[in-house]
Amino acid sequence: MKNVIYGSLLSLCIGGTPPPDTSKSVSIKEEPHHHLILENAYVRVFRVEIISPDATLLHRHDTPYAYMSIGKADFINAVEGKPDAQVKMANGQLGYSKGGFSHIVRTTNDMPFYNITVELLHPQPNIHSDCAKTLGGPLEGCPTPQQTVAESAHDTNAELTGGAKSASPGTGGDTPLAVSTPDGAKSAAPAAPPAFTTIFESDESALKSGAFSAKATTSLQAPPSGILLVVEPLSQFKLEFSDGSSKLLGGGDCLWIDSGSSTKVTNSSDANPSSLLIFSFKDGAAKDAPKPAGN
């Protein structure tokens, strides 16, 4: 008995701590692998990092959320009260969950787990997708950004060669964007206009993926609620704002665009396509501005 008491006291003296109590879930903001990077009245955005082998604490998802894999993912999803499930996701693959559960994410096969998780803080009634087979996990059936870029380029080539015209998504017209060239140089083919695919939509919000061919550009006008931009992996953009400032964003970067702002968005790559997620919200009432993480 004395040895047990002595061992306990010694453990306390050298700073030992008991293992975490996994019988009680913590909020997602308290889970140490989830790093809050943006928060306002519409969304909370987390960058999630789990180095293998490791696992999160049992944590709660109280609201609906969307997520995007940064790199390939291979992990165990241990939802409280359900059998463990093996999940594999491709780089840039999207997922959606209605929330209302607690789970542990556990990495496998020595593969680290990185993603961007966007909590949707308003209810999402009548949510549906025109491309995903199901809503409730990794989304399957929607075109990849590469497919969307290729289709957009094909439509633009048809216009240039006198083929059938099609509207240019996101630009409100059917005229391809010109690319300037030095005097005397052979004119380059115009950049294909960006093409936008609706991933899911509800009575409250919508998520679209915008596929930009090399050098493609468009202007985004933020609605009264503002919009959230999330750059997909292997993508890079230059944003130019009405006040004359600009910002460069790479894969996994996020940015909130305030109500009414007009922003020019350009794929800053000279050779490769880039893709951008756009979260928009249908509530026209002005909401709180984004707060820095940790506030």
Give this prediction's pTM: 0.78
Residue 88, pLDDT > 80, answer yes
Question: Tokens at residue 97, please?
Answer: 């969950």
Which residues touch 165 (CB under 8 Å, ≥6 apart)?
Answer: 158, 159, 174
pLDDT band at 109 (very low <50, low <70, confident <90, very high): confident
Whole-number pLDDT of residue 150: 58
Which residues touch 186 (CB under 8 Å, ≥6 apart)?
Answer: none
Q: Bridge-partner residues for 239, per DSSP? A: 247, 265
Q: Which of 137, 134, 146, 94 is nearest to 116 (CA)?
A: 94
Whole-number pLDDT of residue 185: 47
Higher pLDDT, 183 or 206: 206
Of 56-70, 148-162, 211-225, where does mean pLDDT reach its minimum? 148-162
Whole-number pLDDT of residue 147: 60
Look at the chain and count its residues: 295
Residue 162, pLDDT > 70, answer no
Residue pair 223/280 in contact by the 8 Å Cβ criterion: yes
Residue 1, pLDDT > 50, answer no
For the segment 196-215, the average pLDDT, to the nearest whole number, is 95
For the segment 97-105, the average pLDDT, to the nearest whole number, is 97
Judged on CB neighbours under 10 Å (0-12, 13-18, 19+), 255 is middle
Residue 7, pLDDT > 70, answer no
pLDDT band at 247 (very low <50, low <70, confident <90, very high): very high
Whole-number pLDDT of residue 290: 52
Whole-number pLDDT of residue 179: 34
Q: For residue range 10-64, list pLDDT tens digits in order.
A: 333 334 434 445 568 999 999 999 999 999 999 999 999 999 899 999 999 999 9
